[in-house]
Amino acid sequence: MDTRYELVLAPAAVRALLSLSDPARMALAMVLGTELLNGPNARKEAFYDADLRACRREKAVYTATPLSYDAFVAVHRPLSEDELARLRREKGRRRALAQGFHVLDILHLTTAFTRGAHLVGSV
């Protein structure tokens, strides 16, 4: 089974990466590229519906995956077939990888204890 995947970062995820030092950014980018699909913390994932309410995996739109680097969590959803095709066209490739993820945000564990911290899209 191919465990490679396409990765698209939303603005909040880009901001999170850019806020880090170069070595930390590189380490976090490495785990983002390898741990969203059957990574070492796959059994610790949390699942959310479109309204960001906790739900079962079957009804999930978003997944929060704990990453193995410095207590970061990636909030993501799978890319649709149409999004993968669009990505292939935009990158000028003949084909794209068979799967991919849209990373909405990258949160550090400490944000759970910060007043006013919300997942992307929550009120």
Q: Say if CB 102 and CB 83 are below 8 A apart.
A: yes
Q: Which residues pair with 73 in a beta bridge?
A: 66, 107
Which of helix, strand or coil describes residue 11?
helix
pLDDT number for residue 18: 94
pLDDT number for residue 98: 87
Is 99 a domain residue? yes
Given a cut of 70, the residues of the chain with pLDDT beneath it are 1-2, 112-123
Q: What is the CATH number of the domain that holds 102?
A: 3.30.2310.20
pLDDT number for residue 112: 62
pLDDT number for residue 96: 73
Note the pTM of the prediction, 2 decimals.
0.85
Domain that holds residue 54: 6-111
pLDDT number for residue 122: 47
pLDDT number for residue 52: 85
